[in-house]
Amino acid sequence: MIEAKGVSLRYPDGTLALKGIDLEIGTGELVYITGPSGSGKTSLLKLLMGVEYPTSGSLKVMGQPIAKGQEGNIRRLRKRIGPVFQEFRLIQGRTALENVMMGMRFLGLPYRQAKENAQNALARLGLGHKALSMVENLSWGEAQRIAIARAVARKPRLIMADEPTGNLDHDNALIILDLLTSFRDTNTTVIITTHATHLIGRQEHATFIRMDGGSISVERRGKAYEKSLV
């Protein structure tokens, strides 16, 4: 699913966000990327989404190289990804259903199927009754779940959630994590970044990527390796 070899990312202002990352994530894995703010979690997700390109090394997502000159292919790749953004990025002035459907309008799905997918996703996230509510009238937690519904309704092969528990209380954060992990199956990989490690400690069948200042460590069902970051 994801293959990174010696991937580094340096921003134009000279900040080195990632250096020499080696990583392999298989299909159907549940991956938590943890670490404090500024440790590079979001930078890694940006690379995986093709928003940034590695300044060195090679990165492939679902076989698609993430590199300059691949913009068209990366755009197509994103259709197979369900992103949940930290700040939700819901479109104001639209209903919950319109927001969820917006992620599917260009996928080539028949209208009925797209609408059914959207309604099912909203229902699964407990928001079926809010389908026709304007998103600006919803609570923070509800908006979060609509963002998840938009990501999963597309039936993506890769779900990437950036700090989905960021502003939620303990109970709601657990609900969101449970919901997100419930979409993982044999075909769908789920990657979640979070700095709330206390919430994910109970996970037994997950891969943990810990990013902490100078190092990245990967723990996969008990196995772990460390690599110097800087």
Partner 1 sequence: MKKALYNAPYFMKEAGRVLWQNRLSGIFSFLSTGLILFILAVIVTCWSVGNLLIKTVQDEAEISAYLDQNIGEEQVPGLVETIKGMEGVRDVKLVDREEAYGRMKEILGEEAGVLGLFDENPFEAFIEVRISLGELGKIAERVEGLKGISHVRDNREVLERVQSITIGLKRFGCLIIAAVGISTLVIVSHMIRQGIYNNRVQIGTLRLLGAPESFIGFPFVLAGLLLTLVGGLLASFVIVFLINRAYSAMAGSLPFIPLPARSQLVTGLVLFVSSVSILLGVLGSLFGLRSTE
Question: Which positions lie near partner 1, rule CB under 8 A?
Answer: 49, 51, 75-81, 83, 85, 89, 91, 93, 102-103, 105-106, 108, 110-111, 150, 154
Q: How far is residue 208's CA from residue 149's CA, in Å, rounded to a whole number?
A: 24
Give me the least distance between CB of 150 and partner 1, in Å please.
Answer: 8
Closer of 33 and 158 to partner 1 (Cβ): 158
Q: Nearer to partner 1 by C-beta: 2 or 216?
A: 2
- CB of residue 154 to partner 1, shortest distance in Å: 8
Minimum distance, C-beta of residue 5 to partner 1, in the bound complex (Å): 25
Query: What is the nearest approach in angstroms of partner 1 to the Cβ of residue 96?
Result: 15
Q: Answer yes or no: are the C-beta atoms of 146 and 133 closer than 8 Å.
A: no
With CA atoms as reference, report the closest residue to 206 among 34, 6, 18, 3: 34
Please, what is the minimum distance in Å from the beta carbon of residue 111 to partner 1?
Answer: 4
Token pair in block for residue 35: 């670490």
| Residue spans of beta strands (DSSP E) within 35-93 | 56-61, 64-65, 81-84
| Residue placing its CB nearer to partner 1 in the complex, 49 or 96 | 49
Minimum CB distance to partner 1 smaller for 113 or for 167: 113
**Which residue number, 46 or 184, has a Cβ lying nearer to partner 1?**
46
Q: Is the dihedral of CA 202, 151, 147, 133 positive or negative?
A: negative
Sign of the alpha-carbon torsion through 140, 153, 4, 192: positive
Total Cβ atoms within 10 A of residue 71: 11
Nearer to partner 1, 103 or 208 (CB): 103
**Distance of alpha carbon 181 from alpha carbon 191, whole angstroms:** 9
The least distance separating partner 1 from the CB of residue 189, rounded to whole angstroms, comes to 17
| C-alpha to C-alpha distance for 190 and 184, rounded to whole angstroms | 6
Buried b (16+ CB within 10 A) or exposed e, 180-204: bbebbeeebbbbbbbbbeebbeeee
